[in-house]
Amino acid sequence: MPLILADLEVPATGLRGFTVIDSLVAGRAMGGTRMTATVSPAELGRLARQMTLKLALAGLSIGGAKAGIVSDLPPGRQRDARLRSFGQVVAPLLHGGVYLGTDVGVSYRDRAVIFDAAGYDVAAAGLDRPLPCSWATLWDSCADITGHGVAEATRAAVEQMGIADRRLRVTIQGFGTVGRGAAKRLAQLDFLVVGVADRLGTVSAATGLPLPELLAATDPSGAIDRQLLPSWVDASSAPEAWLDVDSDVLVLAATGGAVRADNVHRVSARVLVEGANGPCTDDAILALFGAGVPVVPGIVANCGGAMVTGLVLTGEVPTAGDTATLVRELYDRVGTQVRTRLAEVFHGAGSARSPLPVVAIRMGEELARASTMAPTLASAAQAV
C-alpha cells in the first residue's frame, strides 16, 4: 500500500488525476508525472514503488512517488489549463518536499507550466548546495544522461558475462530521449547499432546504421523520417520487427510489456537491457532466465535522470564552479553508480541463482528499509 494516495479532481478544468507517494526519506520523495488517457492509481502505485527501489539502489536519500493526469488532450489552451490546474492542486506537495517531474506525455515545457502554476522554483526550494546554472539549463545539458546510464549498464553487463571480446551488435527498441542517448554512448563504447525501432516500425542495417544521419532524421518524439536515410537502410513496418534483427544486445527503451510470454520466443539477443520501466513482463523474465539470457533491470540501468534530480534535491550534487564541469561530473557519477551496482546484482544473482531483476528488487527493498521513513506530508496531502 502507498504511504499517501491523493485523488485530484477540478471539474472546472476537467482535471482528473492522482498522486501516489510510496515512501518518504527525511521528509522527501520524488517521481515523474505522466499524462495519458488510461493512467490509474494502480499503475502509479507500481511506478512509485519502482522509484523507491531505483533511488535506494542509486544510493540517494529520498523516497519514491509518481503522479498522473488522466488526459489525451493535444497541445493547446485547454491542455495548458489542465496542467495549470494540476500545478495549483499539487502545490502543497511540491512545497512540502515531493518533487514531481516529467514522465510519459509530460515534457520539460509542461513541467514548467505546472511549476509556474504552483509557484514552485526548484532552485529556490531550500537547496543545500546552489547550482552554477538554472534548473532548465542543467536539464538541457543532461538530456542524454538516462540513455548514458543505460549504455553503461550494457557495457557492464557484457563484461560481467564475458562476451565483450568483439564488437557487439545492438538493437534499440524506442528512439526517444533515452534510446537516442543510449545509441550515442553505445557508439562511443564501440558497440554497433544495427537496429532501431520507433512508432512507425523498424530500421536496420547488418553492417551498422549511420548514426549521425539517423539522429538528424529523428524528431523530438523519436519518430524517424525514412526518406532522409540512405537507400541501403532496411525499413519494415511489420509489428515488432525489432525482435527479428540479428543482435547480441536488445535495449528496450520504449513502453512497458514490450517482451511478453507471447513473443519472448522471438528473442535472439544474448542479453536484454531495460531502458524503460517494466519493458519485460515477469513471465518473460523467467523464460529468458531459463534460456540463459539475462535481463538487466531498469531500476538499475535507467536511473540517470532520477539520480540527477535526487542529487540536486538532497544537496548531494557535486560541487562545481561552472556548468560544464558539473555536467561532466554528473555523467561520470551516473556511469560509475550503474556499473558498480550492476556488478553487485550480477554477483548476487550468481549466488542466489535468480534472475537479475529479482535480485535487484530484493537489494532495493533492503536498502529502502534501511532508510528513515518520515511521513511528514500527511497534512499537506489532506490539503490537496
What is the mean pLDDT for each group of 10 consecutive residues in the chain (384 residues)?
A: 83 94 94 95 94 96 96 92 96 94 89 95 69 86 96 97 91 96 97 97 97 95 94 96 97 94 97 95 97 97 95 88 94 97 96 94 94 47 43
Question: 290 and 182, same structural domain?
Answer: yes
Question: 155 and 281, same structural domain?
Answer: yes
Flag whether 135 is in a domain: no
Flag whether 84 is in a domain: yes
Chain mean position to CA 283: 22
Question: With contact defined as beta carbons under 8 Å apart, do 197 and 184 qualify?
Answer: no
**Strands 201-204, 192-198: pairing kind:** antiparallel
Flag whether 228 is in a domain: yes
Determine the pLDDT at residue 374: 43
Rounded-to-5 percentages of helix, strand, coil across the chain: 45, 20, 35
Question: With contact defined as beta carbons under 8 Å apart, do 345 and 356 qualify?
Answer: yes
Determine the pLDDT at residue 1: 67
Question: 150 and 83, same structural domain?
Answer: no
Flag whether 54 is in a domain: yes
Name the residue with cell 518533487: 99
Determine the pLDDT at residue 126: 56
DSSP element (H, E) containing 16: strand 15-21
Determine the pLDDT at residue 377: 42
Determine the pLDDT at residue 135: 82
Question: 349 and 379, same structural domain?
Answer: no
**What is the distance between the alpha carbons of residues 13 and 41, in angstroms, rounded to a whole number?**
20
Question: 225 and 188, same structural domain?
Answer: yes
Question: 189 and 111, same structural domain?
Answer: no
Of residues 90, 105, 116, 128, the one with CA closest to residue 4 = 90
Flag whether 358 is in a domain: no
Question: 218 and 72, same structural domain?
Answer: no
Query: Where residue 188 sits, what CATH number does that domain have?
Result: 3.40.50.720
Flag whether 375 is in a domain: yes
What is the domain extent for residue 109?
4-120+371-383
Query: Where residue 48 sits, what CATH number does that domain have?
Result: 3.40.50.10860
Determine the pLDDT at residue 221: 85
Determine the pLDDT at residue 271: 98
Q: Specify the pTM.
A: 0.92
Question: 349 and 224, same structural domain?
Answer: yes
Domain count, the chain: 2
Determine the pLDDT at residue 125: 62
Question: 49 and 174, same structural domain?
Answer: no
End-to-end, the C-alpha distance of the chain in Å comes to 19
Question: 204 and 108, same structural domain?
Answer: no
**Region of residue 104 (left: phi > 0; alpha: psi -120 to 50; beta: else):** beta
Question: 163 and 65, same structural domain?
Answer: no
Question: 167 and 77, same structural domain?
Answer: no
Determine the pLDDT at residue 379: 41
Determine the pLDDT at residue 286: 97
Of residues 125, 122, 129, 128, the one with CA closest to residue 321 = 129
Flag whether 237 is in a domain: yes
Flag whether 319 is in a domain: no
Determine the pLDDT at residue 378: 41
